[in-house]
Amino acid sequence: MLKTFINAWKIADLRKKMLYTILIIFLFRLGCAIPVPFIAITGANGLVGDNTGTFLNYLSMMTGDAFNYGHLFALGITPYINASIILQLLAVAIPALEKLSHDEEGRKKMATITRYVTVGLALLQSVAYFVYLYSQKMLTTDKDGNAYTGFWLVMQGFFVVAVLTAGSAMVMWLGEQINEKGIGNGISLILFAGIVSRLPTTVFQLVNAPYRYGHWYYHVAAAVAVISLLLMIVYIVWMDAAERRIPVQYAKRVVGRKMYGGQSSNIPIKVNMSGVLPVIFASSILSLPPTIEMFVHNKITEGSFWETFFGWFSSDHWVYGIIYFLLIIFFAYFYASIQYNPVEMANNLSKNSGMIPGIRSGRPTADYIAKVISKIVLLGALMLSVVALYPVLFSQVMKASNIMLNVTIGGTSIIILVGVALETVQQIESQMMMRHYKGFLD
């Protein structure tokens, strides 16, 4: 990986793109440190406090602590991800939206619609954020120390909501700039930058826990956490490289005086064909109930059904783990249906005089490919779930053992970090290959 970046740095065009990408990421991190006026979040641990493993901690992790301290990019890229999910799900049910994705002009219109939906969701989340801050008394007060009411509270809320919504729109714009003028993969790199910024805090927690509590078993727990982290990274890299190859045999055919075909090839199908997207989308969907909870926080009574219901969506609850698992499988199949069309693949094979050994051309070939893809998608989703759900199981074991080892980076974060790193390297390698390609004129 390091060698790829060094070789890319030697190419002037790629070097400019890399520098531009670094500049955009720097601006993103700068926005994550700019406080929003009228927000007064006190305490060393910010808005999240000691509630690690909750939805608030998840949002803080995704935004590089901007959400935790009420900074400009507090909403991060989450509204854009949610907007993309909504439109892609609607495209399955609405033929007009599906038709837009078939040509260049249609995709531009879809991108525009996604931007508008992103702003709408950001506005909704900004209002929820303000309501939650108001309920927690984390807004600025007048000179007598009293909270603003009436007109001044409305103006305070209007300003906070407008700034946070604008910040979310700007994060989306920064991601698009990386796609257009940088090395690409912009939205994922924004996520990557936010999560990486939390690594020093996580390392400090792991190192400090044994000395803070003074028990020998904290050393063992910290060592298990570190070893698990390293093993998960190796596992994710191996999973990303795994693929199922469907053999293809091309028939010989004569065109003019030349004979074509007769060779053997294969159709490579990646085990983890959807990458980190099922995990990101599943996490985003599970963020909706806690967002609603932020609106009605003061109306929930202790011991009520709604307190229990919203408690299910805490990231260390077993109900959360089951729903998370099912959503990962759903989105893995959903993305596979978008990426692979067995009928189209079978038709392309038939047009090129190709066939799968032992399978007849036409519908049998399409059915066989669909069957293989279905099995591979299930296997890939299960492998993703192992990494995504391990932190939930780890936190449950720590709780049962009365070990207060709060690690703020989990399986979702590791999958995103490793997946984005691998995708970025592959993108740089493909751009290097394009620039090193020697045409027939050479």
Closest CA to 279 of 206, 200, 199, 191: 191
Q: In the prediction, which pLDDT does 236 show?
A: 82
Q: How confident is the model at residue 170 (pLDDT cuts 50, 70, 90)?
A: very high
Q: Which contacts of 163-166 are long-range, i.e. CB under 8 A and separated by 24 or more positions?
A: 163/36, 163/37, 163/72, 164/36, 164/72, 164/74, 164/75, 164/122, 164/125, 164/126, 164/129, 164/130, 165/75, 165/119, 165/122, 165/123, 165/126
CB atoms within 10 A of CB 226: 14
Over the stretch 278-326, which tens digit does the pLDDT of each residue have? 877 787 777 778 767 766 766 777 777 777 887 787 766 778 878 888 8
Residues 174, 35: contact at Cβ < 8 Å? no
Q: Which residue has the tokens 């296997």?
A: 379
Q: The tokens of 124 are what?
A: 């909704």
Residues 177, 8: contact at Cβ < 8 Å? no
Over the stretch 177-205, which tens digit does the pLDDT of each residue have? 998 888 888 888 888 888 888 777 777 76
Q: In the prediction, which pLDDT does 441 show?
A: 42
Q: How confident is the model at residue 19 (pLDDT cuts 50, 70, 90)?
A: very high
Q: What is the rounded average pLDDT of the residues 134-162? A: 85
Q: For the chain, what are the domain ranges?
A: 1-197+413-442, 212-409
Over the stretch 359-410, which tens digit does the pLDDT of each residue have? 888 888 888 888 888 888 888 888 888 877 777 677 667 666 665 555 555 6
Same-fold call for 1-197+413-442 versus 212-409: yes
The dotted CATH code for 212-409 is 1.10.3370.10
Distance CA(64)–CA(31), nearest Å, equals 10
> What is the amino acid identity at position 27?
L
Q: In the prediction, which pLDDT does 440 show?
A: 40
> What is the amino acid identity at position 20?
Y
Q: How confident is the model at residue 439 (pLDDT cuts 50, 70, 90)?
A: very low
SS3 assignment, position 276: coil
Q: What is the rounded average pLDDT of the residues 61-81? A: 85
Which of the two residues, 58 and 50, has the higher pLDDT score? 58
Q: In the prediction, which pLDDT does 435 show?
A: 65
Alpha-carbon Rg for the chain, nearest whole angstrom, is: 25
**1-197+413-442: CATH superfamily:** SecY subunit domain (1.10.3370.10)
